[in-house]
Copies of this chain bind each other. A is one copy, B any other.
Amino acid sequence: MEQSTEEKILLAAEEVFLREGYDGARMQQIADRAGINKALLHYYFRSKDKLFQTIFEQKFRTFFPKVEGLIRQDIPFLQKIYLFVDAYLKILSENPYVPHFIIHGIHKPEGKAFLKQIPPTLAAGFVGGYYAAQARGEVREVQPVQLLVSVMSMCVFPFLAKPIIREVTAMDEEAFQAFIQARAEEVKRYLERILLP
């Protein structure tokens, strides 16, 4: 079952970068965690920057899931949003540190370059889908971009603010999991009230 050295490095780098961010991460720390010599890191990935970019790109895809399949389905707009909320909260639950990692990275030069890689389908598909639904009288009038940002907000923010939420509401880890679990239904209820005529 042995992992290749490259896999061990990527796994270790993922852990460290996600926890510490680019500046906080140490090459030595990654090497230790991978159980290898520090020089070997530079043998596989030439520099800290290169290694970071590899991880960042990988996590970027988690944060901006592909939604083409969703968009193309012939179901009501609200149903599409429901499916997105369910799927996205699930993905985030399985990758709870990704939001902080991406949001932090996006504010740094190392991450800024990746912004261009965001699949345009997400925003364009959402806005297009909204207007089509609106023409059918399926949904009330809102600003679609504001709505999209709101949906993303309600899904992503809890993971960013997790330490705050846990402190303020005195949740233990288990309670927080339950909170996230319950969130999908609650958010969908909000969206129904916001959107249905």
Chain A interface (Cβ < 8 Å from any Cβ of B): 20-21, 23-24, 100, 103-104, 106-108, 112, 115-116, 118, 120, 122-123, 142-143, 145-146, 149-150, 152-154, 156-158, 160-161, 163-165, 167-169, 179, 182-183, 186-187, 189-190, 193-194
Contact check, A143 vs B182: say whether CB atoms are below 8 A apart: yes
Q: A103-B160, A157-B152, A160-B160 are in contact. Are A145 and B167 (CB under 8 A)?
A: no
Per DSSP, chain A at the interface is: helix
Please pick, from B122, B168, B193, the residue contacting A118 in the complex, using a CB distance under 8 A.
B168
- Chain B contacts for A163, CB-based, 8 A: 106-107, 112, 115
> Which of A21, A120, A164 is packed against the most chain B CB atoms within 10 Å?
A164
Residue in A104, A115, A150, A168 whose Cβ sees the most chain B Cβ within 10 Å: A168
CB-CB under 8 A from A179, the residues of chain B are 145-146
Copy total for this chain: 2
Contact of A149 among B116, B120, B158 (CB under 8 A): B158
Indicate if the CB atoms of B167 and A157 lie closer than 8 Å.
Answer: no
In the A-B complex, the 8 residue pairs with the closest CB atoms? A23-B23, A153-B157, A153-B153, A115-B167, A23-B24, A146-B186, A123-B168, A193-B193
User: Please, could you name 30 A-B residue pairs with CB atoms under 8 Å apart, sorted by A?
Assistant: A23-B24, A103-B161, A104-B104, A106-B161, A107-B163, A112-B163, A115-B164, A118-B167, A118-B168, A120-B168, A123-B168, A145-B169, A145-B179, A146-B183, A146-B187, A149-B154, A149-B158, A149-B161, A150-B153, A150-B154, A150-B186, A150-B187, A153-B153, A153-B157, A153-B158, A156-B161, A189-B194, A193-B193, A193-B194, A194-B194
Query: Which residues of chain B have C-beta atoms less than 8 A from A190's C-beta?
Result: 142, 150, 190, 194
Chain B nearest CB, measured from A190 CB (Å): 5
Q: Chain B: which residue is nearest A64 at the CB level?
A: B164
Q: A87 to B115, alpha carbons, bound, how many Å?
A: 31
